[in-house]
């Protein structure tokens, strides 16, 4: 079992969830935000979830306010936004920290397992165009960075601007199902 699944985190309602319950499934963990230019990815994530969920695929959404204050709401506000705006049905969790000294242990383990964000430079260049200084590697670059955890525990990391319909991401999911 992947060390990443040795964590208990609170769902968006504040109830503890032992991530080991997802052992044996193909998982996509995504740090999400409601007020980001990448927020429309919720639509693609939900489409992926609906398409592959019955085959053992799960998306776990982790709201984080680490980047330019783009997830300022309470858990209730986040849940309402996701439900009403994007009809999100995949599991959402309580807001947590994905970068810096206060980084949640789940994200510590994810980054330790895969310290390099592929194609990070493109996202960094885009952020700099908006006068935003990107985080330093190996930190999560921005909202909507993705970690694909295969059934065997192997993890692949995808840059935030990798859309849910990206051929490489979809192929990796399909290969594991």
Q: Which of 3, 9, 36, 113 is catalytic?
A: 36
Query: Is 36 tagged catalytic?
Result: yes
Distance CA 25, CA 8 (A): 17
Count the alpha carbons within 13 Å of 25 in the hemisphere toward its beta carbon.
Answer: 19
159 CB neighbour count, 10 Å cutoff: 20
Q: How large is the greatest C-alpha to C-alpha distance in the chain, in angstroms?
A: 42
User: Which stretch of DSSP H or E encloses residue 8?
Assistant: strand 8-10
Active site residues: 36
């Amino acid at each position: 079992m992947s060390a990443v699944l040795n964590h208990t985190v609170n769902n968006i309602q504040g109830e503890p969830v032992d991530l080991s319950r997802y052992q044996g499934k193909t998982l996509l963990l995504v740090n999400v935000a409601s007020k980001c230019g990448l927020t429309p990815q919720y639509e693609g994530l939900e489409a992926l979830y609906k398409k592959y969920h019955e085959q053992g695929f799960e998306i776990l959404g982790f709201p984080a306010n680490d980047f330019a204050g783009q997830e300022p709401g309470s858990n209730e506000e986040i849940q309402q936004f996701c439900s009403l705006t994007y009809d999100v049905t995949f599991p959402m969790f309580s807001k947590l920290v994905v970068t810096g000294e206060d980084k949640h242990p789940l994200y510590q383990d994810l980054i330790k397992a895969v310290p390099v964000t592929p194609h990070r430079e493109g996202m960094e260049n885009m952020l700099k165009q908006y006068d935003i200084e990107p985080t330093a590697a190996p930190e999560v670059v921005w909202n909507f960075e993705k970690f694909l955890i295969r059934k065997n525990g192997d993890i692949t990391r995808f840059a935030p601007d990798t859309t849910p319909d990206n051929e490489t991401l979809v192929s990796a999911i399909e290969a594991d199902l």
